[in-house]
Amino acid sequence: MEKVACRTPAEGRTGETRIPAWKFEAVRAAILDTLKDGPIRYADLNAAVADRLDADTLDRLGKLGWHVVTVKLEMEVRGEIERLDVKGPQQIRAV
């Protein structure tokens, strides 16, 4: 099974988490679809991703929140998304 190495943008943190490619691509596509409408608060991201995945994918995925965080961090490392420099809750947008 093909896997994708997911990293974190945090300084001083090394290592990677490897997840199945189909899980990475499903969550990544849902995040990008969510962000096409503009920035979103991180706290709202799980629900927005869940709304964009079918029931079978959600069931096979496992813990949605864990996968959303893992994929989001890798997308930040890749420069696909970024955190906005705003006061208050974390917000992200597509680059």
Share of the chain above pLDDT 70, in %: 100
> How does DSSP assign 21-43, residue by residue?
HHHHHHHHHHHHHHHTT--EEGG
Q: What pLDDT sits at residue 11? A: 82
Q: What is the largest CA-CA distance in the chain?
A: 42
Q: Is 64 exposed, middle or buried (CB count within 10 Å of its CB: 0-12, 13-18, 19+)?
A: middle
Give residue-wise pLDDT tens across range 15-55.
Answer: 899 999 999 999 999 999 999 999 999 999 999 999 999 99
d(CA 86, CA 20): 33
Q: What pLDDT sits at residue 87? A: 93
**3-state secondary structure at position 50:** helix
Average pLDDT score over residue span 84-93 = 94
Q: What pLDDT sits at residue 12? A: 80
Q: Which residue segment(s) compose the domain that 28 sits in?
A: 3-94
Q: What pLDDT sits at residue 85? A: 93
Contact criterion met (CB below 8 Å) for 27 and 67: yes
Average pLDDT value for the chain:
95
Q: 88: domain CATH number?
A: 1.10.10
What's the pTM value of the predicted model, to 2 decimals?
Answer: 0.94
Q: What pLDDT sits at residue 13? A: 81
Q: Is 93 left (phi over 0), alpha (psi -120 to 50) or beta?
A: beta
Domains: count for the chain: 1
